[in-house]
Amino acid sequence: MSAQLTTMRDLVRAFTRAMNLISPEIQNHHEKVSYFAYRLSEAMGCSESERRLTFYGALMHDVGSVMTEGSLSLMDIESRPSELARTGALLLRMFPSTASLSEIVERSQSPWEKLKRLPDQVKAPRRISQMVHLADTVSLLLKEDVSVLNQVGEIRECIHRIGEREFDPAVLSAFDALCERESVWLDLLYRPQLFLDDMPDDRSVSVDETIRLTELMSRIIDFRSPFTAMHSAGVAVTAQTLAALAGMSQDECKQMRIAGNLHDIGKLKIPKSILEKPGKLTDEEFNIMKEHAYYTYILLRDVRGFDWIAQWAAFHHEKLNNKGYPFKLSGDQIPFGSRVMAVADVFSAVAEERPYRKGMEKQKVIEVLRSDAERGALSKPIVELLIEHYDEIDALRDAESRAASKRYQETLKASQGD
Ligand SMILES: [Fe+2]
Ligand SMILES: [Fe+2]
């Protein structure tokens, strides 16, 4: 048993905020869907565990959107539902802790007419998928700029017009009951994060489980673009190994792995056109790129138990010589773990393969790292430590990168359908 690190609620909340970065135009869509689906599950008289599954399933229902082109708008969601749901289900199936949500997400866009013919053993997830589907539709119909109580009648009519082909009659009558409760609609528009902030399931999560859960997040960050498809995986294993060689404690090393998984989580805010630009970025583009480290910090600092992880992850572009970004830290202001992370990041970025270039050869990588250390951008002792154990670390990084790249290709293929 490893020590408790944080809580499920804090992790899920950070994750949801990260998802919101991808498409700011769909304001709090995930929160709204999870809020409304949870209320539906209460109105249906679901058990506590079913309600929790409904809540998490609803939060994750659009997780597949990370692999779609560009920024996601409401139109995209409506016009490519099955691809989104399939990709999301694939991502969730990769991990034991989220596998139970996979079926829910996979069917979250399926009409009742199709679902009702499924065999009995999928009955429970089927009902949850329907609640997510209805809540998703409600969220898409909801306008931000019209008084919410003046919209209920119209939304109700619209849902019934779509009707029993699309929705289970039992879920429809739970929806009708909710239409009578003003506070539900007021919460939906004005406080959709209500349950996220005050979730009854405030379960504690160990360091080891956090590593696994953040691997899912890192895959979502990486899979956004083939240019980054294996990056976080390589950084995480490099950072953890370097930390161990540098004498950090076992617990700290595990936290370094988590920080490595999440160091680029703020990249969800960066448009794909910038992430995928093979050449040099213009000054304007680079300014946008700089936002990612800032958002990594904003997302992680509110997670309980992540005091060090947030700094180790978010300060990976700070430089000892004060020429980094975005906090302009220098020298002693940069924690040791952040210096390790910076070396792991540069090393992985130059050594890994990208669609437009091969990974650099060992000698060239060493040259790059040493010249960065000379300029005072990277820590000299940590760079030398990496060079001393180069082959061992590179083999680990390469294995992680290859595995990540394989998973990416498989997910991409499956999401495009066959
Ligand atoms: Fe970065
Ligand atoms: Fe990075």
In a domain, 199, yes or no: no
Write out the two tokens for 184.
């539900």
pLDDT, one tens digit for every residue, the chain (418 residues): 567 899 888 888 898 888 888 877 777 888 999 999 999 999 999 998 899 899 999 998 888 877 765 444 554 545 556 777 888 888 888 777 788 888 899 899 889 998 888 877 666 689 999 999 999 999 989 998 999 999 999 999 999 999 888 999 999 999 999 999 999 999 999 999 888 887 766 688 999 999 988 988 888 888 887 777 789 999 999 999 999 999 999 999 999 999 999 999 999 999 888 988 888 999 999 999 999 999 999 999 999 999 999 999 999 999 999 999 999 999 999 999 999 999 999 999 999 987 778 889 999 999 999 999 999 999 999 999 999 999 999 999 999 988 888 888 887 777 676 4
The pLDDT, as a whole number, for residue 70 is 44
Residues 316 and 370 in one domain: yes
The answer to whether residue 40 sits within a structural domain is: yes
Ligand nearest to the CA of 231: 2
Q: What are phi and psi of 321, to 5 degrees?
A: -85, 15
Residues 374 and 237 in one domain: yes
Domain count, the chain: 2
For 95, what's the count of Cα atoms within 13 Å in the CB-facing half-sphere? 18
In a domain, 9, yes or no: no
Within a domain: 14: no
Q: How many CB atoms lie within 10 A of CB 150?
A: 10
Residues 121 and 266 in one domain: no
The pLDDT of residue 216 is: 83
173 within some domain:
yes
Q: How far is CA 381 from the centre of its chain?
A: 33
Residue 313 C-alpha to ligand 2 middle, in angstroms? Answer: 9
Please tell me the distance between residue 306's alpha carbon and the centre of ligand 1 in angstroms.
18
Based on the fold, state whether residues 126 and 229 are members of the same structural domain: no
Ligand approaching nearest to the C-alpha of 266: 1
Q: Judge whether 20 lies within some domain.
A: no
Residues 221 and 183 in one domain: no
Cross-strand partners of 4: 206
Please indicate, yes or no, whether residues 167 and 217 belong to a single structural domain of this protein.
no
Domain identity same for 246 and 123: no
Looking at the CA of 227, which ligand is closest?
2
Domain boundary among 192, 227, 259: 192
Indicate the pTM of the whole model.
Answer: 0.87
Q: What does the alpha-carbon distance between residue 328 and residue 323 come to, in Å, rounded to a whole number?
A: 7
Which ligand is the nearest neighbour of the Cα of 343? 2
- Which of 21, 127, 135 is closest to 71 using CA atoms? 21
Domain range for 398: 207-415
DSSP β-bridge partners for residue 204:
7
Q: Please give the distance, rounded to the nearest whole angstrom, from the Cα atom of residue 224 to the centre of ligand 1.
A: 14
User: Which residues are close to ligand 1, an ion, with C-beta < 5 A?
Assistant: 264
Spell 270-306 as b/e; 16+ CB within 10 A means b: bebebbeeeeeeeeeeeeebbbbbbbbbbbbeebebb
142 and 180 both lie in a single domain: yes
Contact 151, 142 (CB under 8 A): yes
- The CA distance from 171 to 50, in Å, is 14
Does a structural domain hold residue 2? Answer: no
Question: Ligand nearest 294 Cα, by number?
Answer: 1
How far is residue 214 CA from its own chain's centroid? Answer: 8
What was the pLDDT predicted at 119? 79
Domain stop point among 192, 226, 241: 192
Ligand 1: distance of its center to the CA of 99 in Å? 29
Q: Are residues 188 and 215 in the same domain?
A: no
End of a domain among 161, 192, 223?
Answer: 192
| Greatest CA separation for the chain | 70
263 alpha carbon – ligand 2 mean position (Å):
6
Q: Which residues contact 121 (CB under 8 A, 6 or more apart)?
A: none
Distance CA 267, CA 349 (A): 15
How far does residue 264's CA lie from ligand 2's centre (Å)? 5
On whether residue 70 sits in a domain, the answer given is yes
Nearest ligand (C-alpha, residue 325): 1
Question: Which residues, in sequence order, are CB contacts of 20 under 8 Å at separation 6+?
Answer: 27, 28, 29, 30
Please give the Cα distance from 316 to 264 (Å, whole number): 9
The tokens for 139 are: 């969220």
Give the ligand at the shortest distance from the Cα of 292: 1
CA–centroid distance, 93 to ligand 1, in Å, is 27
Contacts of 249 (CB under 8 A, 6+ apart): none
Contact 154, 174 (CB under 8 A): no
Q: For residue 110, report the distance from its CA to the centre of ligand 2, in Å.
A: 37
Task: Determine the distance separating the centroid of ligand 1 and the alpha carbon of 397, expressed in angstroms.
Answer: 17
Ligand 2 center to residue 353 CA distance, Å? 14
Element (H, E) at 314: helix 307-314
- What ligand has the least distance to the C-alpha of 348? 2
- Which tokens hold the place of 73? 């708008």
Instruction: Kindly give the distance from the C-alpha atom of residue 391 to the centroid of ligand 1, in angstroms, as a whole number.
Output: 24
- What CATH number is associated with residue 135? 1.10.3210.10
Give me ligand 1 centre to Cα 191, in Å.
32
Which pLDDT does position 71 carry in this prediction?
45
Cα 114 to Cα 93, 109, 117, 166, 212, distances in angstroms: 22, 11, 6, 9, 34
In this structure, the answer to whether residues 267 and 332 fall within a common structural domain is yes
Whether 177 and 213 map to the same domain: the answer is no
Q: Which ligand sits closest to the CA of 230?
A: 2
Residues 291 and 153 in one domain: no
